[in-house]
Amino acid sequence: MVCLVSRTGRQLQRYNNMGGRQVVGCIPYRYKEDIYGNLSNELEVLLISSQKGQNFMFPKGGWELDESVEEAACRESLEEAGVIGIVECELGQWSFISKRYGTYYEGHMFPLFVKEQLDLWPEKNVRRRIWMNVAEAREVCQHWWMKEALDILVKRLISTEQQKEDIAMNDSLSLQ
């Protein structure tokens, strides 16, 4: 069962040794399907609107004391975007200044391979979500550090696909 209420408050919030708030985000992704339901190589990523505006970003939020960084990533993706999936290896860590508070934050980003998209989720009434191709997402994403994380994800996925193709090629050559 999925919880339909977002966590609130800062009492469990993690801070780094410099006093900066630690936040965790995900880049939810999937491969586009054709009209027959077959997966293509075309990557799609899910962006969400900010709560108070029309800007787009990837789901992110505070990393709390009672959860691992991966659990925080899953929770934020569920609360803000209504997606569930597999959290993969961290894309990196960034330091950035919060526009709202003018203080440094520490952001961790993860890929989330989406397995399920929910019709109801905690922040459905305050956010819009939209699947986009990588070029569109890079254009509209409001945070530079999230764009960098997206670039890292794309390079990682391309490298993985190339490795699979190389293995398949070697397998077919060894059968000859």
First to last CA, the chain: 51
Q: What is the pLDDT of residues 22-45, one digit of tens each?
A: 999 999 999 998 888 888 889 999
CATH of 21-174 given 3.40.50.300, 3.90.79.10, 3.40.50.2000, 3.60.110.10: 3.90.79.10
User: Tens-digit pLDDT profile for the chain (176 aa)?
Assistant: 455 555 565 678 899 888 889 999 999 999 998 888 888 889 999 999 998 878 999 999 999 999 999 999 999 999 999 999 999 999 999 999 887 767 889 999 999 999 999 999 999 999 999 999 999 999 999 999 999 999 999 999 988 776 666 555 555 555 55
Q: What is the pLDDT of residues 163-175, one digit of tens each?
A: 666 555 555 555 5
The structural domains of the chain, with segments of one domain joined by +, span 21-174
